[in-house]
Amino acid sequence: MTAPLTLTIENAIATITYNRPEKLNAMTPEMAQLMWDAVHRINASDEARAVILTGTGKAFCAGSDISDLDRYATPWDFRNRPEYCDALRALLKPSVAAINGYAMGGGLEMALSCDIRIASDKALLAAPEIKLGWIGGGGMTALLAHSIGPSNAAMMVMTGDPVDAAKALQWGLVSEVTAPGALLERAHAIAATIASRAPIAAETARLNLQAAYNMPLEKAVAYERDLQAICFATADAAEGRAAFAQKRAPVFKRR
């Protein structure tokens, strides 16, 4: 049986692929556990320096499999389930969402939990939970409001209607739109560029961006300066300075 979620690590890039195309890559509790397992493996790996998330077939991910939601005995059990979006936010390495098709509900939340989002021009993105009687619970409202502003976030969350790739680009929900056949190539190019940079600095930049959302400006600048000092003390920073002086490419070792 084909695994519904796969992880590969090659050339410093980890690729998580949702692989349940017959169900539009809808997530099950078992897939959520596989996501946590993949994140733990990536975080522990010095080889993996950047992460790509994508899906097979015509969907990135359609969110949680609705047919699985009745398995929870109580709403409290549902509230405390292993959350696949939490897994993504636990990643230490920079991440790129390659949105190849439908990104709905929890699928959109997973894309929003990535650092960079690019989309196929066939992609559709939506927060459709309101059509079924609830709202998103994996960070939908906060992440959308940060990404596209409160009015556009309200439009998506309160109507549940999808936006196409062109609108997503206009709103800043994604950074780039490509032809479907070029999407993974472009995602790998972005991830390869990130993977070529000093790994500790890249991971620190991710941490700093996340913190900046939650801090007043003065505290955010002070925190950034602290993180800069930590990076400056690494062997990779010394290597970067030496390579610059010697006019050669640096060799970073995540040290």
- Is the distance from CB of 39 to CB of 91 less than 8 angstroms? yes
User: In terms of C-beta density within 10 A (0-12 exposed, 13-18 middle, 19 or more buried), how is residue 58 classed?
Assistant: middle
Structure-token pair, residue 14: 């980890």
d(CA 224, CA 43): 22
Active site residues: 109, 129
Tell me the two tokens of residue 192: 């390869």
B/e letters for 67-85, b = 16+ CB within 10 Å, e = fewer, are: ebeeeeeeeeeeeebebbb
How far out from the chain centre does Cα 58 lie? 19
